[in-house]
Every structure is written in structure tokens, then in C-alpha cells.
Amino acid sequence: MSGIRRKPGVCGMVMAVILGFLVVSPGDAPAAEVYKVGGIFSITGPASFLGDPEKKSMEMAVEAINARGGVDGRMLEAVIYDSEADPTKAVNAVNKLIHKDGVIAIVGPSNTPPSLAVLTYAERAGIPLISCAAGIGITQPVKPWVFKTAQSDVLAVAAIYQDMQREGLRRIGILTVANAFGESGAQQLKAQAAQHGIEIALAESFGAQDTDMTAQLTKLRSQNPDALVCWGTNPGPAVVAKNARQMNLGMPLYQSHGVASPKFIELAGEAAEGLRLPAGKILVADLLSADDPQKAVLQDYIRSYAARYQQPASGFGGYAFDAVHLLAKALEGSGGDKQKIRQSLEQIRGHVGVSGVFNFSATEHNGLGAEAFVMVKIEKGKWALIP
Amino acid sequence: MQEILQYLFSGLTNGAIYAVIALGFSILFNATELINFAHGEFVMLGALCLVTLWSGLHLPLPLALLLSAAAVGGVGFLFQRLAIHPVRKPDHIVLVIITVGASIFFRGLGMLLWGKDAFAVPSFTRKASVEVAGAVLTSQSLVIIGTVGVLALVLHFFFRRTLTGKAMEACAISRRAAWLTGIPAQGMVLLAFVLSAVIGGLGGLIIAPITMCSYDMGTVLGLKGFCAAMLGGLGSLWGAVLGGLLLGVLESLSVGLINSGLKDATAFLLLLMILYVRPSGLLGNRSVQRF
Amino acid sequence: MVRPSLHNLVPYAFFVVLVGSAGLWVDNPYYFQILSMIGIHALLALALNLLMGYAGQISLGHAAFYGIGAYASALLSARYGLSPWLALPCAMLAAGLVALVVGYPTLKLSGYYLGMGTLGIGMIVFIVFREWSSVTGGASGFVGIPPLGLGGRALLDVRSYYFLVWAVVLLALCGSQRLIRSRVGRALRSIHDSEAAARAVGIPTSRLKLQVFVLSAVMSAVAGFLYAHMVGFISPDTFSFIVSVKLVTMVVIGGMASIWGALLGAALLTLLPEVLHAFAEFEMVVYGLILMTVMIFLPQGLTRGILDIYALRRRQSERAARPAD
């Protein structure tokens, strides 16, 4: 019990650490001349394939806007934090952005659970938030301050089912990754099946880090479906494609827009041949007809991203790229008034972005239509447009 | 029937991977009574080294395999010297937390060195797959299952027939007594670390072609390997192999016969049941140090 | 029973003054958010410390009880319209019952096998949160958890929430301290030192272990309740295996068998990521290095370690002072 006497010291230490943090943390001295825009992306962690290009695209978009003179003569400044796809970290980050950095709007988070976690904070503080996640629950029901730029799963599923109808496929098996992305995909696949005359024979799932999906594929094959839909993000779907090839599954395999990046072909190799998936137009930018409104924007984005980072661009970074440009448009003439930014965001029509053409309104905070997706297939290691 | 066979093949492939990882846990535990939570990261390092050496630098396969395994062994050596050895009062839980820190460190290092994207590695053999009664077994699965068998035999021989192996086993029973009889106990601990790291790396090498390799692949594999080692009985060589195969088969059967979403839950539930009946694993018999 | 002496009250008075003055001095909601998060983690670390530090039973699945508390309270208040204050006892009961049922067979295991058993429980509970989507909202999470209300108005104000969280922490601190200093506490520590010896002198070790396990689970459920109603959203990832490991790390790094250590560990591991933002891509490497370095050089944990250094310094300075006399 000799330690008792020293306890105040230990207790003081605890508090000293905490208070030290409060004092040491750099204070906020908002420069009046810049618009601070926050970003919350899963730069590391399991969703870094989203967050990393998003961070880079946001920085690139901000630089481009500043290079042409900023917005109303004021420069943009990006303050970006890493959420690691963790809702708690995202909540801390959103509070830091709003209350410490004093941002006027926030781009991100990259995934659905962190987005759902932070949106009440944005609502309470009255800060426009443009999420980059796919989940439909983010903008439906509509929340005044919350927008999103990523295409919803609803559209991706519709694109797949329309393609199946054209191909005459009726009975399908679905295989989804056991996380928020796969779950949302499975829900939409089930919800829209009836209206497209499609029957789901069996729904299975796999873990995001599983090394072998043969068991699931075997079970699906035993139901004799016409086709399979795999819903996940790299690397799982690439393993599914490989396993399907090894088992000579012999039925069309559809993938989701979660793998719509050049990386997928590299991972799945030969097994990627013949796969079909819905994708943003960015994958087939060069194949688009000259009168496609997005063609110029896409080619410009691809070129500048590759030049800036020596990496091929993907549609994922486009979510943040679009968000920043939408925000810049809404900022014009707002003088930094958040309510005005929110209102002008709602009034944006016909904004041509990387992910599609955005038409926001008071009741539509995602603003993308069915034409945001095209169906592509993989032929000889290249993306090909399915007409 | 054909399906059951396919589930078994899939389960054995996954199980053999778990078994290799479990072997690494067991060997280290045998000599040090320590569970290394960074073991999964050795698997990751092995796989990513192979990516660099084979797919990147186009070294001949055997050389690339050898160098990768050696590199991971080197990391294990440094880890023991720099992080485990200097601890003044080696309490088990303290060492375990050091390995937790190490796992985060290695993952961060892997991300810095190899980036955040996954890599694919081609199969070691030309022949794609063999068919048995309608069920497909890939050639890489055969490589994996073969490796486990050979590895287990070699280790069995090492511990039963060689002086070093016996000395290591003696350290496991009582480090102090072993030291008194003139066995360099510290050296044995170091050797166990290196050996365990090499085996972890080997696990990474053989699974690289069947799955995708990325900096964060180690966590889940390490966890499954740990479960397999516990299931078989910590410190037991054949227990680790049995535990791994059993865990793999249980998982794949629960996908086939129950529900793939509950795959891990079913496997863990059975694992708990087994532990309740046999509190020190299937083949384990020594009572285990408490925290 | 230990008689309440002035000595015992000093640290608490110190604690209350610090928490109070921080609460009045700080006015940035971000800091309140972080401080409340530290409080929630401190509560979890205290709960786990009772089990690990004093009874010597490791749990690698404590996030499960944290999650059960959060989900039970979220379900009852958001879906069934129960007042969160009524949901709280239900959540505590739920976590306690689960702990009782799974603890009974699991606590018969020891050492690493107990770690494995609790890990398995944590995984199973996590998978239930994820797969039972009609009830829990699945992997996408559970939205629309109502904020807490007090006296008819919502506790949206971050400052009030901060005070609420730390009041609970204070309660838990006092409770833990009382328990540890009691007969039961001594019995628990005897289990930590040698279970066989404890049993030999007639301590009902199995029952005691189970009781402290249940108590620890109930405390974790309270932390889950506080988290759920603060953020208004929960998803399975917040209660995963990684979180369980992080809790163990908090306890060990703070110093096992020290209630203030649990507090320190929780504070450090919650603040570290916030501070390490500056390292961007290097964050993980630095975090891992810090964890390893602390454990290598202060294997007894921060509290004991720093006290040791302090004592050493004092001895040295005394020795240095002596010749001068």
C-alpha cells in the first residue's frame, strides 16, 4: 500500500497528458482569405483503395481551382484526415474539422458506416457534407446538409439486371462480401430482382480477407443458376474470379462497380476474361462517342491524375474530385455562408463530373441518373463497352 | 457427394494454410511460451517479398523463394534482438503487447514499402488443376498440402532426432534447468524466433499464388493460425497440423451445409465446444502459463 | 473494510477538480468529443483491468460486451421507443446475462486458452451484429439512436455529455477502488498470484472469477450505452477483435492492477492517433514503435514505470545530496 501516497502524482499525470494535448495542439487561427474545406477519407486501412485516390484527387482539384484564381478571388485550402474506415475515427475527424479547423464544408467519408456516423454531426453543426460512399441510406431519406457523389448501388444493380434481361438470364446466384458494401449490394439485388423478372436462387457471402472461395462457388453451382453476381471490392472478387476459372464454372460471372479499376484486371489476370460489370464511364473514356458530355471531363481528369501521381486514375478518386468541383460551384457568391452553399448545391443542375452528370434538387441529394453507369466487359485484358 | 468432396478440398487447402501458420505459433511457444501476435505479419512479409523478387525482379523461382524466406527469417532475428530480448522483466502479457505493437509496425512498414494495393502472384506449377471425381483440386493446393506434410515431418525429425531440436525442447520444459545443463538457452530462444519467422514467411510464399497479397493480409491469417494452434494444443507439432486442417474443413463445411455468412461463427462455436471439453486443445497436454 | 482516510480521498479530489476545471475551461466541442471518448475508453479499461489486472484473467473479447451494451440500448430506445435511461439497465442486464452464460464454461480455461475462448466469444458476437441485419442493421450499422435526455431536454450539448461520461468514470473508479480494497479484492488478487493456493485456503475461485467477469461485462455495457447515445450511430466495426486487443493494450500500457493506470492507458491510446495524424502515411509505423518502446522500457506499464523512474531519481538525488552534508 506504499503506492497510495503517490497516487495524486499518477492521477495528475493522467490529466497532464490530456491537458498537454489540449494546449500543445496547434490553435486555430482562421485566415480570412481562404475557404477551408475538410476531407475525411479512408487513406489507410481496409478501404484505402477508395481513400487514397480520393485524397489525391481532392488535393489535385483544389490545386486546379486555386491555379485558376480560386473561388471569388479566395483560395481553397484542403484539410484532410484519415478515418481508416473506422466510424469512431471519422466522428473525431468531423468534430476536429468543424470545431477546430473551422471548415466551411466537408468532403467524405469514403465508406458507408463512417458516413452514417458523421452525418448527424454535420446536420447538428449545419455544415454541408458531400459523402463519397455508395450506401443509399446516406441521402435517403434526404437530409438537408448531406449530399453524395458516388453512384448508389441502386443504379449499379439496375444496370446489371438490364444486361441480364438482354442476355436472357433469369436465375442467378449472388456472392457478396461480408461488409457494408456487400450487404448493401445484396439488399439491392434482392429488392430489384422481381421487377426485372429475375429469380435469386441462392445468396452467399465471403469474408473480405478470405483466401479461397471455392466452397461458396460449389454451393452456388449446385443450384444451377444461369449466372453469378459477385459483389465486393478488391481483392476478394479477384479470388472469386480465379476460383471460378479453376472450377470451370461455365456460367457468366458479373462483378460490381466495386472492382471497376485497372487493378482488378491485373489481379485476376486471365480469369478476368469475359467478366461483365457496371462501371463509371471513366474506365472506357476513350471508347465513348465524341458527343458524350463526360468525355472531355474524363479525359482531362485521367490525364492530369496520371501526370500528377504517375498512377492510373480510377473512378474512386472521381467521387472526391466531383465533390470538390461541386462545392466550388456552390461556393461562388456565397461569401462562405454555409446555408447559401447548401442552397446553391441543391440548385446545381447539369454539372458534368467524373462519375456522371449531377442534377441536385431539394429531394435528390445524389443527383445521378441511370446513365452514370455503363456495362463493360473484359476482353483480352482490356475494358470493352457493352452496347 | 461431388459437392462434399469439393468442400473438403477447399477446406483442406485453407486448413493447410492455417496449419503452416499454426506451426509457427507452436514452435515459438514451445521454446518461449510466447504467443507472437505479429506472426501473421511474417506471412504477409513472405508473400510480399516473393512479389518483389519473383514478379518484380524476375529471379528464378527457387532463388526467390529462398531469399524471401531468408529475409523473413532476418526480420524475425532483428525482432527478437531489438524488441523481445531487451525487455528487463519478461512478463508474458508485456511480451504479447510488444508483439501487438510489432504487428502494427510491420503492417505500417509493409504499406510504406509495397503500397496499399494488392498483388497477384502466378501459380508455381504449369499444370492448372487436377480433377478427382468431379471435384477440382488446384495444383497450388497440392503444393500447399504437400508443404505442410513435409514441414511437419522435418520439424518432427528436428525435435526428436537432432541435438539442437532436443535442446530447444529442453528449454521449453524448463529454461533454467536447460541453461544449467549447458544449453545456450538464449540462443535457443533466438533460434526459435528465426525458425518461427521462416515458417511464417513460408506460409506467405505458398499461399501467394492462390490469393492476393497485400500489406493487411496478415491479420486475419494470423488470427486463424492462432485459433488452429490453440485448437490442436499449443506447443504440439501434430496438434497444430490437425487443428489447422480441422479449422479449414469446419469452415468450408459450414459454408456448404449451413450459411457462408455464419462461417466463422460456426467454426468458432465448434472451437469453443472443443476447448470446453478439452481445455488444453486436442493434442496439448501441458498446462499453460498464466498471465 | 479500509477506513476512509484523507490519503484515499486526495487523488479523487484532485481528479474531480481537474475534470471539473477542464470541463469549464475548454469550450471547443472537438475537445469535448475527444475527452468524452477518453472517458468511455477509460471505463472500458477499468472494467477490463478488474478482470485482467486484479483477477489475472485475460479477455480478448471484451468489445463484445461493449457492443452488447450499445446495441441493446440502441435497439430498445430507437426501435421500441423506450427511454434510454430505462434501456440502460436492460443493456446492463443483457451484457451481464451473456457474460454469465459464456463465462461459466469459458473461465474454466486458463492462460492463452482463456484468451482463445474469449476471443472466440468476441468473434461470434461480432458476427451476430453483422449478420442479424433485420435487428442490428447489419454491417452498414444502426442509425437514428436518440440522444440522451435529462429533465425533459436533450443532452445534445457536448459539455453536459462530457460531464456525464466523467461522472460515470468517477463512479466506476470509486467502485473499483472499494472492491479492490475489500475482502473480495484481496481474494481476487490471490487468484492472480496463484489460483491453486487461493483455492486451498478456501476462496471460491470459480465463483469469484465469474462474478468479476460479469461485473466487468456490465461496466463495459455502460460504456457501450454512452458511446451509442453520443454518436447516434453504431456499426459492428466499432466492436471488433481489433478493439478488444486495443483495450488489453490500454490496460497493460497504463499498468496492470492500477486503476489510475487504466485511465492513463485509455487517455494515451485515444489521444495518440489524434496527435499522430501529422505523420500521415507513417502513422502506423510510429504508433507501433511507440507501443513497443513503452513496453520495452517500462514493462510494468506507464504508471509503475514512471513512479520507478521517479523513485530512482529521488534515491539518486538523495545519494548525491548525502556527501554534501
Q: Rounded to whole angstroms, how far apart are CA atoms A246 and A233?
A: 20
Return residues 134-173 of B near A (CB < 8 Å): 136, 138
Residue C233: phi and psi, rounded to 5, are: -150, 135
Q: What is the average pLDDT across A176-191?
A: 92
Q: Rounded to whole angstroms, how far apart are CA atoms B63 and B50?
A: 10
pLDDT tens readout for residues C3-39: 555 566 788 888 888 888 888 888 888 999 999 999 9
B58 Cβ contact partners less than 8 Å away, ≥ 6 residues apart: none
Q: Rounded to whole angstroms, how far apart are CA atoms B266 and B282?
A: 18
ipTM above 0.90, yes or no: no
Residue C163: C-alpha distances to residues A23, C24, C25, C91 (Å): 20, 10, 13, 21
Residues of chain A whose beta carbon is less than 8 angstroms from a beta carbon of chain B are 44-46, 48-49, 52, 178, 204-207, 209-212, 214-216, 218-219, 222, 234-235, 238-239, 242, 246-248, 263, 266-269
**Pick from C212, C177, C176: nearest CA to C2:** C177
The strand pair at A199-206 and A171-177 is best described as parallel
Residues in chain B closer than 8 A to A219 (CB atoms): 3, 255-256, 260
Q: Rounded to whole angstroms, how far apart are CA atoms B116 and A45?
A: 8
Neighbours of chain B (3+ CB pairs under 8 A): A, C
| Amino acid at position C119, single letter | L
Residue with cell 487517455: C267
| Amino acid at position C134, single letter | S
Give the model's pLDDT for residue A340: 92
Reported as a pLDDT band with limits 50, 70 and 90, residue C66 is: very high
Domains of chain A with CATH codes: 34-151+296-368 (3.40.50.2300), 154-286+373-385 (3.40.50.2300)
Ranges of each domain in chain C: 6-240
- Residue-by-residue pLDDT tens, chain B, 291 positions: 788 899 999 999 999 999 999 999 999 988 888 889 999 999 999 999 999 999 888 889 899 999 999 999 999 999 999 998 888 777 788 888 999 999 999 999 999 999 888 898 888 877 777 887 778 888 888 889 999 999 999 999 998 889 888 888 888 777 788 888 888 888 888 999 999 999 999 999 999 988 889 998 998 999 999 999 989 988 888 999 999 999 999 999 999 888 888 888 888 888 899 888 888 888 876 554 433
How many whole angstroms from its chain centre is CA C228?
Answer: 16
Ranges of each domain in chain B: 21-227
C273 and C315 Cβ atoms separated by less than 8 Å = no
Which among A32-36, A293-297, C146-150 has the top mean pLDDT? A293-297
How many whole angstroms from its chain centre is CA B261?
Answer: 25
Nearest by CB to A91, from C7, C156, C231: name it: C231
C105 Cβ contact partners less than 8 Å away, ≥ 6 residues apart: B272, B276
Give the model's pLDDT for residue A152: 87
Give the model's pLDDT for residue C2: 46
Return residues 154-173 of C near B (CB < 8 Å): none
The stretches of A227-290 forming alpha helices (DSSP H) are 236-246, 262-268
Reported as a pLDDT band with limits 50, 70 and 90, residue A127 is: very high
- For the four alpha carbons of A337, A343, A345 and A350, in that order, the dihedral sign comes to negative
Residue with cell 461463427: B265
